[in-house]
Amino acid sequence: MTECASGSCSGGAAPAQDEMDLKVTANLDNIRFKLLVMSGKGGVGKSTVAAYLALGLAAQGYQVGLLDVDLHGPSIPRMLGLKDHARVDEEQQFIHPLTLDHGLKALSVEMLLPKKDSSVIWRGPLKIGVIKQFLGNVAWGNLDFLVIDSPPGTGDEPLTIAQTINDAMAVVVTTPQEIALADVRKSIDFCYQMELPILGVVENMSGLTCPHCHQPIELLGKGGGKALAERFGLELLGQIPWDPRLVEASDKGRPLDLSKLEDGAAGPYRDMVGKVLGHTAERKA
Ligand SMILES: Nc1ncnc2c1ncn2[C@@H]1O[C@H](COP(=O)(O)OP(=O)(O)OP(=O)(O)O)[C@@H](O)[C@H]1O
Ligand SMILES: [Mg+2]
Ligand SMILES: [Zn+2]
C-alpha cells in the first residue's frame, strides 16, 4: 500500500488513490444498491438493523451481501456466528465472502485481520486504505443489495464509503430517545455534506415486544425516529421494537429466523424490508 504517513499529503499518493477508487467502482459495478447503515451514536443497533435487513432481503430471494467495515469493534461475525476466515485467492487477489442461509454473502474486515486485537490503533489514512482495498477486492458477484455496517459517527469509515461509492445510499438508525436524536442529526448533516442520499430512517428499540405473548407494547418514547424523519422530510423505513430474544440470538451467534417469528414480532422487520424494496425500486426507475 502506498500511503503517505502524514495523511495530509496528496502529492505522491494521489495516483494510487485514484487507481484504488477506480478499482472499487469497477468491483462494485454489478451491485444495484449499496446501503450504508449509519448512526451518530454507538449502540443504537446499526449492526442489528444491517444484519436483519440483509437477512430479510435475502429471505425474499434477493442477492444480498453484508459487509462490516468496523475495524474497531466488528460485530457482524459475532451476531451471525461467523467463525471461518474469508478465503483469499492470492493469485487473483480476490477475497471471497462467506455464504449463509438464503445465499446471503457476508464479510467482515475482522475475517482478514491477522489477529483479533482490538487494541490496534488504525491511523486515518491506513484505515481508509484498508477499507478501499477491501471494497475493491471482494468477489461479491452480482448483487441486488450490498448492506454496509459502519461504526458510529462520521469518521473515516462512513467517509470512505461516501467518497468512494458514489451511488451509495444511507440508512440512518436511531433510537427514540432525544439524546440519540441530537447525534443522529449530525449524521444527517454529514449525508447532506457528502451528497449521500438518505434512503430513510430506522427507529430501533422502538417500544417493546412482550417477552410473554410476543405482541408489541408501546412504550413512552416510541416515535422519536418518526418525528425525526418527519422533521427532515425523510422516509421512516421501520420501527423495530426492543425484543429480548434479539440479545440472546446475537450473543449465541444464531440470528432469529424471521419466518418463524409470530406475526406481531415479525411485522416490523417485514415492514422495513418492504419499505426498503419499495423505495429502492422507486429510485431505480
Ligand atoms: N431491537 C433490539 N432489541 C433488543 N436488543 C437489541 C435491539 N437492537 C440491538 N440490540 C442489542 O443492543 C446491542 C447493541 O446493538 P448493535 O451492536 O446492533 O448496535 P450498534 O449500533 O451496531 O453498536 P456499535 O455502535 O457498537 O457498532 C446488542 O447487544 C444488540 O443485540
Ligand atoms: Mg455495530
Ligand atoms: Zn404479553
Determine the atom of ligand 1 nearest the C-alpha atom of 44: 21
Proximal ligand: closest to the CA of 262: 3
Spacing, Cα 45 to ligand 1 middle (Å): 4
Nearest residue to 277 via CA among 29, 59, 24: 59
Spacing, Cα 174 to ligand 1 middle (Å): 11
The gap between the terminal CA atoms of the chain, to the nearest Å, is 39
Identity of residue 148: I
- For 202-227, what is each residue's pLDDT tens digit? 999 998 888 888 888 877 677 888 88
Residue 46 CB–ligand 1 contact under 6 Å = yes
- For 267-278, what is each residue's pLDDT tens digit? 999 999 999 999
Nearest residue to 107 via CA among 123, 128, 131, 90: 131
Nearest residue to 143 via CA among 113, 191, 102: 102
Q: What is the pLDDT of residue 1?
A: 39
Does 166 score more than 80 pLDDT? yes
Q: What is the mean pLDDT of the chain?
A: 87
Q: What is the DSSP letter of 272?
A: H
120 falls in which pLDDT band (50, 70, 90)?
Answer: low
Q: What is the DSSP letter of 138?
A: B
Q: Percentage of residues in the chain with pLDDT exceeding 70?
A: 89
Q: What is the DSSP letter of 143?
A: E
Substitution candidate for ligand 1 out of 37, 47, 214 with most atoms within 8 A of CB: 47
Report all structural domains of the chain as residue ranges with CATH numbers, in order of start: 15-284 (3.40.50.300)
Residues contacting residue 141 through CB under 8 Å, at least 6 positions apart:
30, 63, 105
Write down the number of H helices and E strands in the chain.
9, 11
Whose Cα sits closest to atom 25 in ligand 1? 42
Does 5 score more than 50 pLDDT? no
Residue 246 CB–ligand 1 contact under 6 Å = yes
Residue 42 CB–ligand 1 contact under 6 Å = yes
Whose Cα sits closest to atom 28 in ligand 1? 247
Identity of residue 63: Q
Nearest residue to 158 via CA among 107, 201, 124, 200: 124
Q: What is the DSSP letter of 110?
A: G
d(C-alpha 273, C-alpha 280), whole Å: 11
Between 122 and 231, the more confident residue is 231
Residue 242 CB–ligand 1 contact under 6 Å = yes
Nearest residue to 138 via CA among 174, 108, 176: 108
Q: What is the pLDDT of residue 66?
A: 97
